[in-house]
Chains A and B, each alone.
Chain A
Amino acid sequence: MDISNYTIDLALKPTTLDAWHVCLAGTSAILAGALILTLLALVMSLTRRKTTTEPQVKVVEKIVQAEPIVQVVEKIVEVPVEKIVEVEKIVEKIVQTPAPAPVVLKEASSDAALQLLYLLQNDARFIDFIKEDMSAHSDEDVGMVARVIHEGCNKVLNDHFSFAPIAKENEGDKITLIEGYDAAKVRVTGNIVGNPPFTGTIIHKGWQVTDVRLPSTVQGYNANVIAPAEVEL
């Protein structure tokens, strides 16, 4: 047998359809299908893993939130038909409880704060003083300068704010707080038991600002500059 006769012609198509060929074609088709499926599954799982994590948690949260509503629905079913009015009430109550009044935190205006710093620095050298390394100076030196700072700060505060003590009585006096006293203005401490009226001693008379007189600024004013650099010519 001449080897040269055994050339493989790849272009050749089987002319006869025997069982062996059918079997071969079927297997390759199944293998290709399996490969496509695994690839697809892989791609899908990858994309899923990317998108979920957070939304999934959210979904859970939403479900948790939704729970009471589901209960409401169940309750409605249980309540007799005649008492529709009451049912509505119940619905209202239940809807309110799971959504507590949202806490809105107000951001402090940085401009007013910067302005106060500006005034304290300009009239009282406040920033210079606080930023100075105190450990390098003697008490006597610090005390001397503190007088200047104190005087200036006092002037700034008096010029731009009006202060009033909250308690009219003197510190050390006995005071009785009746029910419904303003807990924001008076803080009780120590042996707090029972219900008001509370009787106690004024430790600190408290401060409140009754008037603010901060200057206006021109639009575009850079409040971050608390003290410009000074260059003497």
Chain B
Amino acid sequence: MSFFEKMKKQAAESVKKDEPKKETVEAKVDETPEAQHFDVEPETVEIAEEPSMQTEESPAEPIEFVAPQTQHSSSKIDDSEGKHFSVGIDLGTTHCVLSYADITDVEDAFSQQVMGISQLTSPSIVEEKLQLPSFIYQANDAELPANSIVLPWNPKPDLIVGEIARSLGSKTPIRLVSSAKSWLCHAGVDCKSAILPADAPDEVEKVSPFEATKAYLEHMSSAWLHLHPNAPLSQQDLVITVPASFDPAARELTVEAAKSVGLSHAILLEEPQAALYSWIEQTQGEWRKQAKVGDVILVIDVGGGTTDLSLIAVTEKEGILDFTRVAVGEHILLGGDNMDLALAYTVKAKIEKDGKRLEPWQIQALTHGCRDAKEKIFSSDIASVPLVVPNRGSSLIDGTLRSELTRDEVQSVLINGFLPEVSVSDRPVSRARAGLQTKGLPYAQDAGITRHLAAFLAKQINAADELEGIDVPEGATFLHPTAVLFNGGVFKAQELCDRLMNVLNDWLKSENAPEARLLAGADLDLAVARGAAYYGFVRKGKGVRIKGGTAASYYVGVESSMPAVPGMPPEIQALCIAPFGMEEGTQVELPYADFGLIVGEQVRFRFFSSTTRREDVVGTRLDYWQDDEIAELNEIEVVLDGEGRRSGEVVSVHLGSAVTEVGTLELLAFSNKDNGRWKIEFDVRN
């Protein structure tokens, strides 16, 4: 464009801009005063109608948000006083959900809703979403526009959390903190040391898995307060869910994180139990018809990154149905994300056959595409779905990558890969780990969920022995579930449900057991949060409660007294200090095992757990055990602080344990002479 043309254009533009102004001026000349007033009125009315998401509540510096000039249906602020809520938080590996119900009057019918969590979705844009992605982005100082990271309740959040973190991190993974929850349960890592993002260059500020958990809870707590200024979360009944397979240390860390953001009253609930609570609530009494005495319900919860298994038995006591959680599975780092990744790599291999090389961003886009394509294939009977990865530049079509995902591929990769038809005697394959491994999460080596399931059911064959009305037939090689409840978005695919049910029913048939039923009516995506909120209501004495207690028995390692043999480590005995199924609010002591501890000095114990040794009581000493029976956890340590004691004094103590009302296990050391009592910490080390 020549300079002259430019000038002309500018002039024309300026004329255009002026035009409407002229019009209004002319219009006003003819207007009566009332009409002029009317011209202003609609705008002010609209502003008043706007739900006042902005302005209020901001501390110190006011942050102003501009809501779009339309009728806008974000959540209304509820500033009524005297209300009481039951709140459930699903603190997930990939995203968090908060569900709540008004229980001011517990006699009212229970009705709950999922809260829209305000969060940044890109710089300067705040949106409400039902899910808060569990990601943190550690931005470079120059990366984002000034003042673009603000929240309605905080002009300067310390950490970038939520959808914006996920979307920025998808293009800059070295700055993305993800899967903090899986790290919490990772033995051999100090969860309070700043280690995430794991592969980040030195200049990226790191956070600990504990801090990340804190950040997600803090965000949800603030978002709640913003919508309920007169009912802070710290005054509501709050339930936070954790995987059933979380060890005591991970549970403790979760509770501690909640405490540090002012949620010291939070109660823990296992996710598969929450899913069952949600099913009970959603079936509105129908569950009494679907669940019968003698049932063993298998809950299969496949989340984004983990698979969690639980068995819940239904018994009867004085005419009332009782639910008891009898067993939980191991922590399996295998989930829906693995499935999408597996599909993406299948398609990648297909494309690279032609000699093309894919860049990381293309693989990522393919993973996205495969997720949607998979759902399409599962929900209809089309044979293939085209996959298109558009060019990153503004020209879409040139350089576009295209391929397709066929039904056969989905069948072979997902169904046969993740849910292979195996016999119940099959076990997950574990390869010897490569000698050199990067420090990372211990992902499951065998992707076959059915193999993990077979191992779990066989291992837990005696889980329901103590319960009346549940009989395991003679010659059975695994515990026979009679009903199955699925949880997790993965099971929206009917074919995956069918395959799992078929495999399970084949196992049952081979042992002449009746087929298991599928419990219908579950909400696959939001069940955990909903179940948690319902649990808060159940705790008020309303509705049926699942009994559980500790999901394992716990032991400390004691060196046996025998002559030292050169070159051999001393034999270790396992001393049971907390039995299986210990209920909330109880405490046990082990009076006859004395330890002399020096005040101010650290004593470490090896710490073990078993999910199968139900018969062990406090004080049981094991000299010998099977490898798969007992698992070693992080070490535990006791330090006697010298309160009122001489430094260097040797205090004789015995050990014991307590399960708190919150749902965490506490290991304790009791003085043999006075009322001294010390908490034993779940040690974590690098």
Contact = CB atoms under 8 A, between A and B. Distances in A.
A212 B73 contact: yes
Contacts of B71: 211-212
A218 B126 contact: yes
Contacts of B66: 111, 216-219, 221
Contacts of A221: 66, 124-125, 148
Interface residues of B, number: 46
A213 interface: yes
A213 B147 contact: no
A214 B402 contact: no
Nearest to B69: A109
Given A102-B31, A213-B73, A148 B388 contact: yes
A106 interface: yes
A42 B428 CA distance: 109
A142 B395 CA distance: 12
Given A102-B31, A218-B63, A219-B64, A212 B147 contact: no
B392 interface: yes
B567 interface: no
Given A102-B35, A216-B53, A219-B64, A107 B20 contact: yes
Interface in A108-122: 109, 111-112, 115, 118, 122
Contacts of B569: none
Nearest to A109: B69
Contacts of A30: none
B388 A111 contact: no
B395 A211 contact: no
Interface residues of A, number: 40
A58 to B, nearest CB: 9
B39 interface: yes
Contacts of A213: 72-74, 128
A144 B148 contact: no
A99 B121 CA distance: 50
B70 A212 contact: yes
Nearest to A112: B68
Given A145-B396, A212-B70, A218 B38 contact: no
B65 A219 contact: yes
Interface centre among A142, A147, A216 (most CB of B within 10 A): A216
B397 A141 contact: yes
Contacts, number: 115
B121 A132 contact: no
Contacts of B390: 125, 128, 145, 148
Given A104-B39, A131-B394, A217 B124 contact: yes
A26 B147 CA distance: 86
A224 B9 CA distance: 20
Contacts of B32: 99, 102
A129 B39 CA distance: 39
B68 A111 contact: yes
A213 B35 CA distance: 32
Main SS class of interface, B: loop
B63 A216 contact: no
Contacts of A151: 372
B451 to A, nearest CB: 35
Contacts of A118: 125
A230 interface: yes
A107 B386 CA distance: 43
Interface string B115-158: 00000011011111000000000000000000110101000000
Nearest to A233: B172
A104 B71 CA distance: 20
Nearest to B376: A151
A226 B56 CA distance: 29
B475 interface: no
B397 A145 contact: yes
Interface string A131-157: 110000100011011011101000000
Interface string B179-197: 0000000000000000000
B572 interface: no
A216 to B, nearest CB: 4
Contact of A219 (B63, B396, B400): B63
A9 B31 CA distance: 75
Interface of B: 20, 23, 27, 30-32, 35, 38-39, 42, 53-54, 63-74, 121-122, 124-128, 147-148, 150, 152, 372, 386, 388, 390, 392, 394-397, 400, 402
23 contacts: A104-B27, A106-B42, A111-B68, A112-B69, A129-B396, A132-B396, A144-B388, A144-B402, A145-B396, A145-B400, A148-B388, A212-B71, A216-B125, A216-B152, A217-B124, A217-B125, A218-B63, A218-B64, A218-B124, A218-B150, A219-B66, A220-B147, A230-B392
Closest A-B pairs by Cβ, 3 of them: A215-B127, A109-B69, A219-B64
Given A109-B69, A220-B124, 11 more contacts: A104-B39, A109-B68, A112-B68, A132-B395, A141-B400, A144-B386, A212-B71, A214-B68, A215-B126, A216-B126, A221-B66
